[in-house]
Chain A
Amino acid sequence: MEKFTTLTAIAAPLLRINIDTDAIIPSREMKRVSKEGLAEGLFAGWRYQAPGSREENPDFILNREPYRRARILLSGINFGCGSSREHAAWALREWGIRAVIAPSFGAIFQGNCVRNGIVPVVLDNSVVEALAGQVETDPGKKQVTVDLLRCLVIAPDETRHGFQLPTADREMLLEGLDSIAVTLKLDAEILAFRDRDRIRRPWIYLPTTL
């Protein structure tokens, strides 16, 4: 996974509330058993003129300059609610988004972001709206900084907004860690737990199928 330390980039305001993962990538755009090839389906229902077409809707923000080059997304509460499909994070990442700033996130989506090098930044709605207001005056130049080392968002007017991220999530993003490898360092503990648990709750353990 690509590491994330700090990023200064164009930010696209998409200030709707409750943007669900069906909207981020419709199920019909998840065509293969693959984590790749999904950027084209990102926001397909809004980005294109008609279902299945690839004719762009010029009104949709990510179809407009300079937002086509946005690396940060600004959004409303509960971004990424709904379906657990990690394809939403994969599609955002492949399209180029590295951070989403919103007042709150769907829990599963938030976890998926962290595992795919996208920083889910939680800031108050008033701050997100203020960022959007500044960006919109000159989106190419009024860029936003997400500094994960200091857990700071820096607005175009240089105001600073601290944010919090669970320690493990921050480390995973900063180091680009493989979480399975990290956990397997505790493998002796896991196996010892399983041995004790097998005695304590034997009904959990089914006969082996192999």
Chain B
Amino acid sequence: MGRTILDKLWAEHTVAELGDATSLLFIDRIFLHERTGSVALKGLEEAGRRVRNPEQVFCTMDHIVDTTAGRTDDTRMPGGREFITSTRASARAAGITLFDLGDDRQGIVHVVSPEQGIALPGVTLVCPDSHTCTLGGLGALAWGIGSTEGEHALATKTLAVRKPKAMRIRFEGTLAPRVYAKDLILHLISRFGASGGAGYAIEFAGSAIRALPVEARLTLCNMAVEFGAWTGIVAPDELTFEYVRGRPFAPGPDQWASAVAHWRTLPSDPDAIFDRELEVDCSPLAPQITWGTSPQQGAGIDSQVPDPAAETDANRRQSAERALLYMGLTPGTRLAGLPIGAAFIGSCTNSRISDLREAAGVLRGRHVASGVRAICVPGSSLVKKAAEAEGLDQIFREAGFEWRESGCSMCFYAGGESFGLEERVVTSTNRNFENRQGPRTRSHLASPATVAASAIAGALADVRELRPRD
């Protein structure tokens, strides 16, 4: 019987079978950040344990650092300095590679890890961060863990994991112009629910996925966790190999051929059997936008705020009613046209150079509506540099966007910067939970292009119907 990519990677990394479908898996790479990595490193130190193979462990500063110019270890988040200095001291003591403030390689963990060639096809990679599933976009088996599991991985180079079931989702057809990977994943979650992938490792396949550039695959897999999945993965192909080649920690010229030969064996066999299969036709898809406080509460931008009364499931109905109250929305209102107070482009979902190019393409020659605060936070310091080399920063600035230093920034509120009370924000991030971006802030998730178009309109907008340039 044929094997799935999950079967292959699982077998290849199994050190020991522990029974009850649980394996001790070898962990190739570990990434940490100052928010949750600090406590894992400290816990390890306090237990008198050492990091095994520190050369395979990396750390960045992204969650707590400010993203304003001239930033230092002092942060707008009260008490942030301790996280930064503790992480720095622990990382140095453990001998792990740190991408610190001032280092060009600093940035959001899941942007940096592909950028540096740390995440590769076929590796197992863990990080105490739920969006580690992003790296499935390269064909890595990557998943988020807690800090205690982080300590376990650091000390033993393994994790005991129960094998998830395998699901394949085929995205077929061609994406319409201005419809992106972000729209695909938002559509999937709104259609099948925020726990639709629970218990599964999901392979994203089909003609629409093969056509996606690697950075878009990272966006797609990024939100596998919002679908409730253990992780998401896209089989590596020629596009992946070209993306990886030449990156600092990727296999060098002397090892390249054998690495690629191995990676070519990883895709699921044609006769592989999955526990569940879904198919989605991408062709009719409109740009997506969320209207509620769970990623599953979303719809096409050309639709209306749904009526909870139409929801047959009582729990979902109550959840929708509560969400509309929080979001300040009434059923039947057209989503396009809802006035916004802010627009945010950034996060591990959508802050790579291709995201910034798409947004800049919308913004070029246009200006953000008056009264809208618009912010762009490149995903890494290298993305920022590359964008500046192309003049994208000028386009953002001239359009009225703030142009920031790299980090997680206002994807979440940690007591520092936030959007206002009841302020409506259109955001390229991944979570629209209550209070996520600020106390009582109302977040609408969308692609960077939709965020840019909405910033210009001063309201949620259909990026397919842009007004003429100024």
Contact = CB atoms under 8 A, between A and B. Distances in A.
A168 B20 contact: yes
A32 B64 CA distance: 12
Interface string A70-92: 00000011100111111001000
Nearest to A182: B160
Interface stretch (A6-14, A54-62, A102-110): A102-110
A207 B123 CA distance: 17
Contacts of A190: 15, 24, 26, 156-158
Interface string B169-189: 000000000000000000000
Interface in B237-278: 249, 251-252, 255, 258-259, 262
A85 to B, nearest CB: 6
A209 interface: yes
Contacts of B26: 190, 193-194, 197
Contact of B434 (A23, A50, A186): A23
B23 to A, nearest CB: 11
Contact of B148 (A22, A116, A194): A116
A17 interface: yes
Contacts of B79: 31-32
A108 B145 contact: yes
A156 interface: no
Interface residues of A, number: 62
Given A22-B433, A112-B148, A167 B19 contact: yes
Interface in B427-466: 431, 433-436, 439-440
B11 interface: no
B146 A203 contact: no
A98 interface: no
Interface in B40-63: 42-43, 47, 49, 54-56
A35 interface: yes
A186 B412 CA distance: 40
B236 interface: no
Nearest to B19: A167
Contact of B228 (A33, A51, A81, A85): A81
A183 B152 CA distance: 9
A5 interface: no
Nearest to B154: A180
Interface in B185-228: 194-195, 198-199, 225-226, 228
Contacts of A51: 435, 439-440
A45 interface: yes
B155 interface: yes
B415 interface: yes
Interface string A14-29: 0111101011001110
B233 to A, nearest CB: 15
A206 B55 contact: yes
Contact of A111 (B16, B38, B129, B149): B149
Contact of A167 (B22, B413, B435, B436): B22
A205 B296 CA distance: 40
Contacts of B95: 209-210
Interface in A168-210: 168, 179-180, 183-184, 186-187, 189-190, 193-194, 197, 201-210
A197 B26 CA distance: 10
B144 interface: yes
Contact of A27 (B19, B28, B160, B415): B415
Interface centre among A17, A51, A179 (most CB of B within 10 A): A17
B412 A22 contact: yes
A84 B36 contact: yes
27 contacts: A23-B435, A27-B412, A27-B413, A28-B415, A32-B82, A35-B147, A77-B315, A78-B195, A81-B195, A83-B130, A83-B412, A84-B144, A107-B198, A111-B146, A116-B148, A125-B315, A168-B20, A168-B160, A180-B47, A180-B49, A183-B24, A187-B156, A189-B15, A203-B258, A204-B28, A206-B55, A209-B95
Given A23-B435, A115-B146, 7 more contacts: A35-B39, A76-B315, A84-B146, A111-B149, A168-B162, A186-B24, A209-B95
Interface of B: 15-16, 18-22, 24, 26, 28, 35-36, 38-39, 42-43, 47, 49, 54-56, 77-79, 82-83, 86, 95-97, 120, 123, 128-130, 144-149, 151-152, 155-158, 160, 162, 194-195, 198-199, 225-226, 228, 230, 249, 251-252, 255, 258-259, 262, 294, 296, 315-316, 318-319, 322, 412-415, 431, 433-436, 439-440
Give 3 nearest A-B pairs by CB, closest first.
A28-B415, A203-B251, A51-B439
